Amino acid sequence: MPGPLFWHRRLRARLSGVILAAALPLATLAALPAWAASSLSAWRFSREGVLELRTAPGVLIQAFYEQGQAGKGPRVWIDLPGAPQRTRVIPGSGALRQVRVGRPGPDTTRLVLEFEPGTSLDPAQLRLVGTSIDRWRMEIGAPAAAVAPLGEGNLEAPLIPSWRAQPAPSDQAIWPPAGSVDTTLPPASAASLPDVPRGRYTVVIDPGHGGPDPGAVGINGLRETDVVLDVSLQVAQLLQAKGVKVLLTRTTEVDVDLPPRVALANNSRADLFLSIHANALSMDRPDVNGIETFFFESSRSRALAQSVQEQMLSVSPGSPDRGARPGRFFVIRRTVMPSALAEMGFVTGSLDSPRLADPAFRRRMAVAIANGLLRYLVANP
């Protein structure tokens, strides 16, 4: 039977011929709760036969090896906390037959590398190495080299909790990082937004989807992830200009699962959480348009959703008001502070889609959302 490999300080455990080594102390490790979704954020298998992983920070993972038999090639697999939202099979090339992302149990993600029959792997040379608190590496070696590279997500994304919006004077116009928006437009200004005590509040902005999950794709190929990341970056900068401490669950096109988004908000003891999205229906229903904001149960979350909803409608004349209403989305159910999920319009809608595709409209929407958040903070100190 194959055996698990646990990550320990200064320990190399040889189980069924597989070795796992790591450079970080045991104290940095913590398992996700059993209800969590997958802690696997990104993975890549290179042409040199190297497997690289990015996970939620500080999780404990296990590595296994099984020798090929009965016409099947050898397998290497990694088990991680939390179940993936979808299982999938990715065809490989050369000696690598396929990669599978599976759900062997209700709270486990399994990443399987299955090789072609006859592939010779030396289990004594397999080492899964923790290179940082959220990075892992295993060199499969020459037998798996020269395959076409494949993977999912962004391995180079910064550690999520480490990001902070860059400070900027409150009397200056604010602009997101270079290349994230159309810089031919004048920058969005925070001058007209409500004032709150500087340094008092922490807000988490969650741009929905990302990486291999683009979210909804609408008219003319408009992708939800592109719209929400642009708006979210601008909202973050506007709030920062008002002295609000801002955390973003992602700042690039990276796949971030749901529990790390919630954990960032809860662990930072944020005052507010807002997840930003764009809606979609069938491409056959361009007549469906509108703005809506969801909350889960609490009166404060309802007030937050209503404030954001009102301001979004103010910059999108003619868009149907679909209301601030209850919803059971994971990120607003599991966060412990007032939370809301904003849908800025339908990427499949004949009215909403052209607006969401327009950088000038996205700029106005960012100002509106920041206005709604700040108005809530003023009314609920």
Just list the catalytic residues: 343
Distance separating alpha carbons of residues 208 and 257, to the nearest angstrom: 10
Name the nearest CA neighbour of 40 among 115, 107, 122.
Answer: 107
DSSP-assigned states of every residue in 305-330: HHHHHHHHHHTSTT--EEEEEE---H
Q: What is the SS3 assignment for 146?
A: coil
Distance separating alpha carbons of residues 181 and 190, to the nearest angstrom: 17
Distance separating alpha carbons of residues 315 and 321, to the nearest angstrom: 12
Distance separating alpha carbons of residues 263 and 41, to the nearest angstrom: 14
Distance separating alpha carbons of residues 361 and 365, to the nearest angstrom: 6
Distance separating alpha carbons of residues 294 and 276, to the nearest angstrom: 11
Distance separating alpha carbons of residues 134 and 155, to the nearest angstrom: 10
Give backbone dihedrals phi and psi of 366, rounded to 5 degrees, phi first. Answer: -65, -45
Q: Half-sphere exposure (CA, 13 Å, Cβ side) for 91?
A: 1
CA 121 to chain centroid: 34
Beta-bridged to residue 152, according to DSSP, are 43
Q: Is the dihedral of CA 68, 73, 78, 81 positive or negative?
A: negative
Q: How far apart are the first and last CA of the chain?
A: 59
Beta-bridged to residue 204, according to DSSP, are 247, 273
Give the DSSP H/E element, type plus range, for residue 234.
helix 224-241
Crossing angle between the packed helical segments 224-241 and 359-379, to the nearest 10 degrees: 50
